[in-house]
Structure 1
Amino acid sequence: MTTKSPSARQLRRQRKAALETQIEQQRVDLMVESSRWLGATQQIDSTFQRFKLPTYALGGLALLASARHPHALVRFAQRGIAGVLLLRRAQRLLKMLRR
């Protein structure tokens, strides 16, 4: 009783079938996770969609204003940077005082 070992072609077919099964399972997993992700981020997406148009409108108005008065944009940027630096310094000071 001799058993015949599978040929290389049969081994390739088996390997291909196993890989196709694995790929199909990965696709199913991806679809399930995609649905979960969309459900989890639905609130964020709806909020973004609600504020998208006003944000673009304000950006356009700011762009027009900066085109008409470029120096005002520079002043605004300087004040913004100064404000951020002031907030950071205040946070560091509060951390030091809490110790």
Structure 2
Amino acid sequence: DLMVGDEASECRSMLEVSYPMENGIVRSWEDMLHLWDHTFGPQRLNINPPDCKVLLTEPPLNPLKNRQKIAEVMFETYKFHGIYIAIQAVLTLYAQ
């Protein structure tokens, strides 16, 4: 079984927890897809990705292959209309 979000938090002590990202870089694509399915699906945002554009953040020095894979997944798996990937620190500066 797989649990994500609040459901997993409630049973945390009885679960084997895995984190798909390490230092802002995706390390487990399979787990990341489960997390995005949960986020975009009816449990959270309940969106139709082809009708949406998505803003994602990445750490500085994120490997190019990682960014390319994220773009591939967003376009080919979820069919988002558009994506923008920004460096986290840059967005922080805009917010101030």
TM-score (norm 1): 0.23
* Structure in which a larger fraction of residues adopt strand: 2
Higher relative CO (Cα under 8 Å, sequence separation at least 6) belongs to 2
Scaled by the length of structure 2, what TM-score is found? Answer: 0.24
Relative to total residues, which structure has the larger helix share, 1 or 2? 1
Rg larger in structure: 1
